[in-house]
Amino acid sequence: MKATEDLFDLIQSLSKTEKRYFKQHSKLHVIGERNSYLLLFDAIAAQKKYNEPQLLKRFQGANFVKRFAAAKYFLYRQVLKTLRSYHSSIHSQTRDLIHEAEILYEKGFFKQARKFIFKAKQTARKYEMHWAMPELFRMEEILFTQWDDNKSLNTLLEEKTTALTVQQNIQAYRDIYFRVAFLYFQYGKAREKKHLREMEKIVSCRLMLDESLADSSYSALQFHYTWHIYWHAAADMTKAAYHAEKSIEIFHKNPDLISINLMIYFANMSNLLSNVLMAKQYEKVQSLLASLQNAQRFAKTQIQKTRYYFDYNNPMLGYLNETGQFPKAAALIPAIAGEFEKHKERLSEIQKAVICATISQSYFGGRQYDKSIYWLNRVRNEINLNTYQDIQSFLPVFYLIVNYEAGKNSLLPYLIQSVYRFLKKKERLYKFEIVLIHFLRTALPKVNTRKELIQEFKKLKTKILEFEKDPYEKNAFLYFDYISWLESKIENRPFAEVVRQKA
C-alpha cells in the first residue's frame, strides 16, 4: 500500500459513529471558524478513490497545503488518537493505569502510584490479563524501595514466581497450538497418513495428554483448541465437537473473558458450529447461532465485526444448505454478499474462499448454476489458496460438477483436463478425485441414452461409497454431499429434495 493512501484507508474504514465522535473532538482544536484538518477529513471521506491532486487543488492557498505530507500525518495521528479514546477497552484502561502510575512515581507520589498499580493488578487478575503482570511487578519492585515491609516483599516475590510460571505455561501451549495449526492450514483435512502423523508427534507430549497441567483459562483454551484442530483434521467430528464445547464452557464459566477475548470466542463458536453441522447434529445449530448472535453486541471494532460476519453467516448458510433450505439461503445471500464487499479486505484468504464456496453451494442447491459458477470464479480469480491444500482439492472438483449441471458441455472437456493437471501438479489427486474425473472425462461421453446415464451414475455411486470407509479418502465428503447429488441424478429428483429428506 502506498504511504499516501494510509490516511484515506483509515478514514474510509470509520463507521458513522466513529466519524461523529472524531468531529466532536476536532471542535476542541478550532482554527478560525472551522478546523482546517476537519475540512481535509471531510474532503478525504467524500472521495471514492484517493485523489491527492484533487485535494491540493481544492485547498489551494490554505496554509497546511505548503506542508501537506506533515498535515496528512498529523490528521492520521489525530484520527488514531480519537479512535483510541473511542475504543477504550479493559486492556487499554489497564495500560493507562500502569502509565499513570509511572507518572505519579516520577512526580514522587509513591502512595498514589501504589493505588493505581493495585487497581491495575485487580483488573488484570479478574480478566486474566497475564501479559500485564510483568510490567506490574516491575513497577511494584521500583516502588518497593520506598517502603520497608518484608511481608509485602515476600508476597510480591511469591506472586511474581507464580505469574511467571503461568505465563510460561501459556506460552508452551501456544507454541503447540501454532505448530499444529500451521500443519492444518497447509493440509486441511488429512488425506494422507503422513500428514496426520506430523500432528500426532506434536500432540503426543505431556502437556497435551494431561489437561490438569493447563493452569489458566488461556492454557485450557489452547489445550482444547489444539485438540479440536487435530480431530478436525482426522475427520472425527464427535471428538472435535467435544473439545469445541469444552472451549465454550470455559468462556461461559468466566463470562468476563468473552468481551475482552471476543475474537477467540467467535472462533470457538464457529468451530463448534462447524462440528455439529458435519456431525449432522442440527438440533444444536439454532441455539448456537442464537448464542453467537447474542455476543454480537460486544463487537465494537471493524476486525471484530468482520470476524462476527464470517463466524455467523458462514455456518448459518451452511446449516440451510445441509438441510436443503436453498430458497431461504438464496433470499439471504444478497445481504450477505453486500456485507462481503465491505468486509473482504479484513477477511483472510481462506475465509473469503470458504464463504464464497458456501454461497456457491446455496445457489447450486437452488439450481441457479450461473450464480453458483460466478462465486466459484471469484475464488479462482481473486483469492490465493496456495497454502490451503484441502480446499484446493474440493473447489476444482465441485467446479466441474456445477458446470456439468449448467450444461456447459462444450467447455467441460477443457475444464476437466485443466482440473486434472492442476490437482496432479499440486499432488492433490487422490482416489476420489481420480474416479470422479474419470467418470466425467471417459464414462459420460460414451452415454447415448437416459438408461445408460443412470447406470453410469449408479456405478459411480458404488465406487464413491467405498471411499466413505477409508479414514483419509472420506474427508473428501466433508465439503459437499456427493452421494445426495448422485442419488438425485439416479432417481431424477431435485438435489434439494434429496438433501431435505435426509436432514
pLDDT tens for each residue of 272-327:
998 888 888 888 898 899 999 989 988 888 889 999 999 999 999 999 999 999 99
pLDDT in tens, 315-355: 999 999 999 999 999 999 999 999 999 999 999 998 999 99
Region of poorest pLDDT, from 184-193, 372-381, 407-416: 184-193
Q: Can you tell me the distance from the alpha carbon of 379 to that of 417, in angstroms, rounded to the nearest whole number?
A: 19
Residues, the chain: 503
Check: CB of residue 40 under 8 Å from CB of residue 64. yes
Cell of 385: 489458496
Q: Can you tell me the distance from the alpha carbon of 278 to that of 303, in angstroms, rounded to the nearest whole number?
A: 27
Check: CB of residue 177 under 8 Å from CB of residue 226. yes
Cell of 351: 475465509
Chain-centroid distance of CA 277 in Å reads 18
**Residue 149 binned pLDDT confidence (cut-offs 50, 70, 90):** low
DSSP letters for 437-454: HHIIIIIGGG--SHHHHH
Q: Can you tell me the distance from the alpha carbon of 302 to that of 221, in angstroms, rounded to the nearest whole number?
A: 24
> Which helix (H) or strand (E) element contains residue 104?
helix 90-106
Q: Can you tell me the distance from the alpha carbon of 151 to that of 310, in angstroms, rounded to the nearest whole number?
A: 52
- For residues 470 and 45, the model is more confident at 45
Q: Quick check: helix, strand or coil at residue 14?
A: coil
Q: Can you tell me the distance from the alpha carbon of 233 to that of 235, in angstroms, rounded to the nearest whole number?
A: 5
Show Cβ contacts of residue 470 under 8 Å, excluding neighbours closer than 6 positions: 431
Q: Quick check: helix, strand or coil at residue 18?
A: helix
Residue type, 447: V
Chain-centroid distance of CA 427 in Å reads 27
Which of 272, 286, 235, 319 has the alpha carbon at shortest distance from 503? 319
Q: Look at residue 144 and tell me whether its pLDDT is greater than 80.
A: no
pLDDT > 70: what percent of the chain?
93
Q: Can you tell me the distance from the alpha carbon of 412 to that of 110, in angstroms, rounded to the nearest whole number?
A: 78
In the DSSP assignment, the letter for residue 180 is H
Cell of 236: 472425527
Residue with cell 447406470: 455
| H-only helix segments in 127-236 | 133-144, 150-187, 193-203, 206-209, 217-233
User: What per-residue confidence (pLDDT) applies to 1?
Assistant: 38
pLDDT > 90: what percent of the chain?
42
Residue type, 212: S
Check: CB of residue 430 under 8 Å from CB of residue 190. no
> Where does CATH 1.25.40 sit in the chain?
255-387
Looking at the domain 255-387, which fold is it?
A: 1.25.40
Q: Can you tell me the distance from the alpha carbon of 50 to that of 227, in angstroms, rounded to the nearest whole number?
A: 46
Q: Can you tell me the distance from the alpha carbon of 324 to that of 148, in angstroms, rounded to the nearest whole number?
A: 72
Task: List the end-to-end C-alpha distance of the chain, in Å, as a whole number.
Answer: 47
**Mean pLDDT across 185-196:** 75
**Mean pLDDT across 403-417:** 92
